Amino acid sequence: MIGIRDNMKLYIDGLFYKGAGIGRYYESLTKELVKRGIKVYTCVPKRLREDFEKDFTEINNIEAVFVNYEKFSLKGFLKQSKILKQFENEVNLFFYPHINLPYYIPKNTLVTIHDLIPLTLFWDRTEIERKIFDFYLKRALKQSIKIITISNTVANELKKNFKGIE
């Protein structure tokens, strides 16, 4: 079991900051962990810097890096690896509140999987977007030390469709 402890240093990916559900999840979780004395490192898109500084103005225990790439971008997939390597000796745990993992993934990484809609008939976007989701999902399942799901339904679907998931 992964335990949160005092003086822990945690990286929480912020590329979905200000996004709908995942963005709220990131923001609420980050604020709560900082309240508990955990040092948080995060990467947030530069275009959201002003919003981030306003929302987190009274929080001292957070170190943000503002990056010039967005979620699910090739640039982010490659460039974020360099930032994570810099944090690797400083951070105890890397947490992604989504499956958008970069090229380099530290060993002590965990992810949250919110839904599997892109793998269903209800997916209303392109086939290439489905393949991109599938790529990121399989990497997240393979590389993460723990997987968090937001519901038993998602957990059961993962167990049913992917071997080795417990």
Average pLDDT, the chain: 92
Pair 111, 148: CB distance under 8 Å: yes
Does residue 89 lie in a domain region?
yes
Cα R_g (the chain), whole angstroms = 16
Q: Which structural domain range is residue 117 located in? A: 9-160
Distance of alpha carbon 156 from alpha carbon 21, whole angstroms: 21
pLDDT per residue as tens digits for the range 46-64: 999 999 999 998 888 999 9
Does residue 104 lie in a domain region?
yes
Query: How many domains is the chain built from?
Result: 1
CA angle 7, 9, 139 (to 5 degrees): 145
Does residue 145 lie in a domain region?
yes
Question: Which is nearest to 100 in space by CA: 158, 24, 16?
Answer: 16
Does residue 139 lie in a domain region?
yes
Pair 140, 147: CB distance under 8 Å: yes
pLDDT of residue 2: 59
Name, in order, each residue with C-beta under 8 angstroms of 133's C-beta and a sequence gap of 6 or more. Answer: 99, 118, 119
Does residue 55 lie in a domain region?
yes
- Tokens 């090229």 belong to 103
Q: pTM for this one? A: 0.90
Q: What is the CATH number of the domain that holds 59?
A: 3.40.50.2000
pLDDT per residue as tens digits for the range 146-163: 999 999 999 999 999 998
Does residue 38 lie in a domain region?
yes
Does residue 74 lie in a domain region?
yes
